Chains A and B, each alone.
Chain A
């Protein structure tokens, strides 16, 4: 599975480590990305496109943490900040 930031999304970013606050220029909503979501989203912005296995390798995710990690990715997907493809 490949993960990448949504290309049709316009966001203004404000970094306040370890969080990110985003202003969605389409919906005019302000979104707070907590620690994990912020880290994943930042990394994806840098890389533009990442294979899921490479992502869990980068964040050093153990097998018993996978479900938890996937929930963070799902949240980013629901916020329409990333998209997943096979």
Chain B
């Protein structure tokens, strides 16, 4: 069964009782929640996700606290096995908090993988890694590549490198967009695939859209990394693609990794192996997505 087989009403009932299980990328989640309206967001963002019959990787709770706070400016808490890694947020931010919370679960509990803060997409067997700081246009470029350029989404946020094989393990979760990039993405992604825009979060306005069905169905198909491109969106700039040295890229990837320091020498070896097989570039672009897609396509021809 997939999430789409359940109505929001069914999901709400399960969230409040035995928990609702679903596959979020490569990992399965059992979610308990008393938040009204959350089910609709899950139904939208995880429509094609499998509903597993077996035990889940993570059991999480997303609930309003007890007491008066349930009525006065209500808040929401995320917890995993009783651990609350975040301060409570306004209840309107429940869905983004679920996404951020699940990122936290993955990055803090999967040290058999090197996890890097980067989008990753695949075409013709070539995985393209797109690391980028906030505002670099990483997620917008990733969205354009998968929606307009025919690339397969492996992840828009977490690049997961298998320590043994060096392959990228897909984790196709909803694509996260912020501020102006939301309206831009809505010009080329069906609006029905979007969660509602949530304003005034720590990241500004945020929204997510569900990945294409083929990305979710290919979640077990790993990909060989061959390209690392550091995008930088600068309005009214001259577009450019320049080679980056492998040493510089190595250091940047280490800095962008969530668990490089935890892994120690294993993380170093994984990054070394990764850099044996990739070409590295910096890509400065002015927001012309057609140009950006053509440039990325030219690298895999």
Contact = CB atoms under 8 A, between A and B. Distances in A.
- In terms of DSSP, what is the predominant structure of the interface of chain A? strand
Interface in A1-50: 12, 14, 16, 18-21, 23, 25, 28, 30, 32-34
B269 A19 contact: no
Nearest to A17: B246
Interface in B229-275: 245-248, 250-251, 254, 260-261, 264-265, 268-269, 271-272, 275
16 contacts: A12-B265, A12-B268, A12-B269, A14-B268, A16-B247, A18-B245, A19-B246, A20-B247, A21-B247, A23-B265, A28-B261, A28-B264, A30-B268, A32-B247, A32-B250, A32-B251
A41 to B, nearest CB: 13
A23 to B, nearest CB: 4
Given A12-B269, A16-B245, A16-B275, A21 B250 contact: yes
A16 B248 CA distance: 10
Name the interface size band of chain B.
10 to 19
B95 to A, nearest CB: 37
A14 B274 CA distance: 11
Contact of A19 (B245, B260, B261): B245
Contacts of B251: 21, 30, 32
A30 B272 CA distance: 11
B86 to A, nearest CB: 28
B247 A25 contact: no
Given A14-B250, A30-B251, A25 B265 contact: yes
Which 8 pairs, one residue from A and one from B, show the smallest C-beta to C-beta distance? A19-B247, A16-B246, A23-B268, A14-B272, A21-B250, A32-B251, A32-B247, A16-B247
Contacts of B260: 30
Contacts of A19: 245-248
Nearest to A22: B268
Contacts of A21: 247, 250-251, 272
A32 B251 CA distance: 7
A18 B275 CA distance: 14
